[in-house]
Structure 1
Amino acid sequence: MELGVILGDVHSTLSPREHLDGLLRQVEAAQRNGVRYIVMGHHYLYGNLRWLQPIPTLARLAAELDPGVRIGTMVVQVPLFHPVALAEELATLDILTRGQLVVGAGAGYRREEFTAFGVDFEQRFAMMDEALQIVRMLWTQDEVTFHGRFWTLDGVQTHIRPWQDPHPPIWIGALRDSGVRRSARLGDAWPVTPETRTSDMRRMFDVYAKARRKHGLPLVSRHPLRREIVPGATTEDAFRRFESMARDRLLAYARRELVTRDTEALTARFRQVAEKEAIIGTPDECLTQLRDLAAQAPVDPVIVRAQWPDMTSDDVVAYLDDLGRDIVPGLDEIVSIDARSLETHAESEHPTPTGAAR
């Protein structure tokens, strides 16, 4: 099982120089400690917190990549781009990384971002659906004609094709069954959110597999998982560490319209929330939890957040060094269950009756 890091936001009071220097230092420490994926989220107008825009930032980070390390968006808000611009910018980024790009795509969840761009928030899922169809066509065809609800292209000649053939992997984020079906139809994997419980994961993987079969698409072996891994000298130390790192930021997510976050629960019952959403404990306890997870859910890589807004660069590097020393060697030996074996097991438990249509 591989480890990834998602690069986060910082306080806007941090100078641009400090922000960039800290980012480069984090990427160096991550790779030195065995991280194989470096990904970024995507937001606009984030108030007192600063997100660097992912496509230009990842283009800069491409120059720092070790062999075999992939970078990606997780996730880019597709409806806020014209699909031609999105296709060409991502194809360019794939070329600059020599084919090491993963494209995480989503519909967005903050209404104010859509209002600022003059984009109808209520149409965001339909827009994402149409845009991703166009992006795939622009990546795989020499000439594209498309007549949709939101965009029209008539015989346009494509001129930037990705390095990867036919295109970079597309991870499509989703919170509900309808979104998982969309992910199965339009993408190559479903990046599981940190709030998704293991029991729900298994059910939603089944939803994903059924949708793939419906559209005649091959099953996906494993899916990326966003989940914090927080080791400590003792279990209590690990919980204190995670609370100091993440509590205020998770509360901010709840206040910024992320529907999977509950302000009251995070305030009154942070430890209970953390136990459900994160891998926390001594290094041995963390690895035991990861083995249990890998035996139940087809997930790989696991993507953690190393930097939270109140952490210094020294804090971030110390955390990554802990992961590299205490977690990564054991993680390298864990092999997650294959989603196709889950499907085979489900079919053996519930065989299709003779003569029944599949």
Structure 2
Amino acid sequence: MRIGVILGDVHTSVSPKDHLDGLLRQVEAAQRNGISYLTIGHHYLYGDLRWLQPLPTLARIAAELDEHVTLATTVIQVPLYHPIALAEELATLDILTRGKLVVGAGAGYRKDEFGYFGIDFTKRFAMMDESLRLMKMLWTQDVVDFDGRFWKLADGHTHIRPWQEPHPPIWIGAMKDAGVRRSARLGDGWPVTPETKIPEMVRLMALYEDERDRLGRPHVKHPLRREIIPGRTSDAAFERFESMAKQRLLAYAARQLATRDADELTREFRTVAAKETFIGTPDECVAQIRDLSALVPIDPILVRAQWPHMSTEQVVEYLDDLGRDIVPALRQVDSVDRVVRDAVV
């Protein structure tokens, strides 16, 4: 079992210089501690938080990349790009990483971001489907003719092929049945959100596998977005997570992305954390991961090391704890190849 780190946002009060310096220190610490994936999300006009744009940021990190590390977008909002531009930029990034790239793709969820670009939010799923189809053609064909609903291309002579053949793996984000089927049809893995409860995870992965069977496509393991919070004691782990993440989780709840509202999160933070994270002593964290990996095909687990108010020293300390107590133990853990459909959870 492998671990990846999401390179998150920082408050805009942090200077660009300090942001970059902290980012590169985080990258160094992650790689030194055996982290296998470095990933970054994608947003525009994000208010008082600065989220660096993923493609140039990952291109910069590619210069620091260790042999055992893969970069990933988790996830890039595909409808906000023209597919020709996105296909060529991702192919370029795949070359710069020497084939160490995963494309995490999503349709987006913030209506205001689509409004900034004058793009119809209600058409985002259809746009993503069409864009991915065209991008795959641009990655694999010498000449492309495409007559779609949103984009048309006649006699397009391609000039940038990805390093990986036929193209980088694609993780397609989804939260509902139709999206999971889309992920099975068009991608190579479904990034599972942290608030997905285990019974729903089992059900949706079974749905994914049924769709893959129908299409004659191979089964895969899925990246799981879930925090790993080790502490000297269980209480210390919960206190650590509260100091790291509580305010941000309340902000997510206010944006209606969390499964509970802000008042409920405040009252029941530990209850929510126990259900949506791997938390406790290092042995308890590993046991929780081992139990879940016996039910569903997951790999890697994507954690967030940096929350907006954390100092770089706190981020490095967390990564050092993972490298000492979690990463070596998880190397001995493997997940099932297919979801256990009759699991009692």
TM-score tier after normalising by the smaller chain length: over 0.9
Paired position in structure 1 for 2:107:
107
Residue 87 of structure 2 corresponds to residue 87 of structure 1: yes
For residues 302-341 of structure 1, give each alpha carbon's deviation from its aligned partner in whole angstroms, at most 9, with x where no partner exists.
11000000110000000000011111111111011112x7
2:78, 2:106 within 8 Å by CA — same for their partners in 1?
yes
Q: Say which SS state the counterpart of residue 64 (structure 1) adopts.
A: coil
- The CA deviation at 1:87 is 0.2
Whole-Å Cα distance in 1 between the matches of residues 150 and 157 of structure 2?
A: 20
> In structure 2, how many angstroms separate the alpha carbons of the residues matched to 1:8 and 1:163?
27
- CA–CA distance in 2 between the matches of 1:21 and 1:321? 18
CA contact (8 A) 2:195 2:258 kept: no
What residue number does 1:39 align with? 39
Q: Check if 1:299 corresponds to 2:298.
A: yes
Q: What TM-score, normalized to structure 1?
A: 0.93
* 1:25-58 deviations in Å (ceiling 9; x for gaps): 0000001101010000000010000000000000
After superposing the two structures, state which structure 1 stretch, 302-311 or 256-265, moved more.
256-265
Question: Is there any run of 5+ residues in structure 2 with no aligned partner, and where?
Answer: none
Q: Is the 8 A contact 1:265 1:273 kept in 2?
A: no
Residues 4 and 39 of structure 2 are in contact (CA less than 8 Å); yes or no, is this contact kept in structure 1?
A: yes
1:34 and 1:324 in contact (8 A); partners too? yes
1:306 and 1:261 mapped to 2: Cα distance?
23
Deviations 1:132-172 (A, max 9, x none): 11111111111111111111111211111100011000000
Give the TM-score normalised by the residue count of structure 2: 0.97
Matched, 1:119 2:119: yes
Query: How far, CA to CA, are the matches of 1:258 and 1:201 in structure 2?
Result: 17
Tell me the distance in 2 between the aligned counterparts of 1:116 and 1:255.
21
Contact kept in structure 1, 2:249 and 2:258, CA below 8 Å: no
Distance 1:110 1:188 in 2: 24
Q: Could you tell me whether the CA contact under 8 Å between 2:219 and 2:337 is conserved in 1?
A: no
Give, in whole Å, the separation in 2 of the partners of 1:123 and 1:177.
18
Where does residue 181 of structure 1 map in the other structure?
A: 181
Alignment RMSD (CA, Å): 1.4
Partner of 1:349 in structure 2? none
C-alpha contact (below 8 Å) 2:38/2:72 kept by paired residues: yes
Could you give the per-residue CA deviations for residues 270-297 of structure 1, whole angstroms, max 9, x where no partner exists? 1111111000001111111111111111
Instruction: Give matches, 1:149-164, under 5 Å.
Output: 149-164=149-164
Question: Share of identical aligned residues, percent?
Answer: 67
> Which 5+ residue runs of structure 1 have no aligned equivalent?
347-358
Partner Cα separation in structure 2 for residue 159 and residue 212 of structure 1: 32
Name the count of aligned residue pairs. 343
Tell me, in whole angstroms, the C-alpha distance in 1 between the residues paired with 2:153 and 2:38: 34
Residue 256 of structure 1: how far off its partner (Å): 3.2
Corresponding position of 1:338: 337
1:28–1:261 distance in 2 versus 1, CA, 3 Å: farther
What residue in structure 2 maps to residue 314 of structure 1? 313
Query: What secondary structure is seen at the aligned counterpart in 2 of 1:236?
Result: helix
